[in-house]
Amino acid sequence: MRAALLRCLLPACAVVGVLLAGAVRTHAAVGTPQPPVALHTVPDAVAGATTLSHTQSVYVSHCGGCHGIEGISGPTFVPTLRNSVGSFACTPEGRAYLVRVPGVSMSLIRDDQTLADVMNFVLITLGGSSTPPDFKPYTAAEVHAWRAHPLSGPDFMATRAHVLERALAACAHGPGAG
Ligand code: HEC
């Protein structure tokens, strides 16, 4: 008995005692009725920010992992879409380029209308002021035609630079050709 008491004075025994006391308290809490927790009591800081349309959620799951849910990909080799991508739409060539990039043309979004909707979200919403004011939304038929010709090759970035250069020149000379 004395030996047991001595052991209990040891620090390790004190730790066991604290743990046991904690366990007892936890058990007591389980049986205590808790007031109901109200969900969504805090309004969105930006109205509608937590509500995604079907097209937006398709974008988030198929494109957002690389391009960012708001079209900002940060310091990566993935191009920023936000307030930038729309310049390509100033020429028919650039407009086609946007659908021919591998991430779009070979997307697992197989339905052409859904992909057209996503591209129109990318251009009109994410592209912002970079998109020419007379931009005509992509149609399913157009997407269907261009995705059959995916861009590829080792000189991809050079091709992109030339397409962009011609598009920016066209943007500067008035309303877009798209
Ligand atoms: C695996 C990552 C990845 C995914 C997923 C992806 N992309 Fe991309 N995207 C890229 C990269 C990288 C480029 C640059 C071109 C290249 O190297 O293919 C690009 C280029 C683009 C461009 C041309 C922009 C420019 O400035 O040249 C557009 C538009 C685009 N992507 C849209 C989309 C859309 C829409 C989706 C979803 C359907 C998508 N991407 C899915 C990585 C991705």
CA of 7 to the centre of ligand 1 (A): 67
Structurally, the chain folds into a number of domains equal to 1
- pLDDT (mean) for 70-87: 95
Indicate which residue's Cα is closest to atom 7 of ligand 1: 103
CA of 102 to the centre of ligand 1 (A): 7
Q: How many A from CA of 11 to the centre of ligand 1?
A: 60
Residue 152 lies in a domain: yes
Tell whether 127 is covered by a domain: yes
Distance of CA 101 from the midpoint of ligand 1 (Å):
6
Rg, C-alpha atoms of the chain: 29
**Cβ-based neighbour number of residue 95 at 10 Å:** 25
The CATH number of whichever domain residue 129 belongs to comes to 1.10.760.10
Contacts of 114 (CB under 8 A, 6+ apart): 55, 58
Using a 6 Å CB cutoff, which residues line ligand 1?
62-63, 65-67, 77-79, 85, 98, 101-104, 107, 109, 118-119, 122, 156, 160
Q: Which region among 18-32, 41-55, 69-83, 143-157 has the lowest average model confidence (pLDDT)?
A: 18-32
Whole-number pLDDT of residue 42: 67
For residue 129, the Cα-to-chain-centroid distance in whole angstroms is: 20
Per-residue pLDDT at 127 exceeds 80:
yes
139-158 average pLDDT score = 94
Residues 6+ apart with CB under 8 A from 121: 55, 56, 59
Residue 106 to residues 67, 92, 149: CA-CA distances in angstroms?
16, 20, 10
Q: From atom 32 of ligand 1, which residue's Cα is the shortest distance away?
A: 104
Distance 118 CA to ligand 1 centre (A): 12
d(CA 136, CA 89): 9
Say what the pLDDT of residue 45 is: 73
Residue 40, pLDDT score: 60
Q: Whose CA is nearest to atom 12 of ligand 1?
A: 78
Candidate from 41-45, 50-54, 163-167 with smallest mean pLDDT: 41-45
Q: Which amino acid is residue 169, in one-letter code?
A: A
Q: Quote the mean pLDDT of the chain.
A: 83
pLDDT at 154: 85
**Residue 147 covered by a domain:** yes
Domain that holds residue 73: 55-172
Whole-number pLDDT of residue 17: 41
Own/partner pairs, 159-162, CB within 8 angstroms, 24+ separation: 160/97
Mean pLDDT across 30-46 = 63
Residue 74 has pLDDT above 60, yes or no: yes
CA distance 174 to 10: 85
Domain membership flag for residue 65: yes
Residue 161 C-alpha from the chain's centroid: 25
The answer to the question of residue 136 being in a domain is yes
DSSP letter assigned to residue 126: I
Ligand 1 centroid distance, CA of 83 (Å): 15
Q: Rounded CA gap, 153 and 155, in Å?
A: 5
Confirm whether 143 is domain-assigned. Answer: yes
Report the pLDDT value the prediction gives residue 36, as an integer from 0 to 100. Answer: 62
Which of 73, 81, 101 has most ligand 1 atoms within 8 Å of CB, for mutation? Answer: 101
- The more confident residue out of 157 and 27 is 157
The pTM (predicted TM-score) of the whole model is 0.77
Residue 177 has pLDDT above 60, yes or no: no
Q: What is the average per-residue pLDDT within 154-158?
A: 90
Specify the pLDDT at position 71.
96
Report the C-alpha gap between 166 and 144 in whole angstroms. 24
Mean pLDDT of the region 5-18: 44
Q: Would 32 be classed as within a structural domain?
A: no
Residue 59 lies in a domain: yes
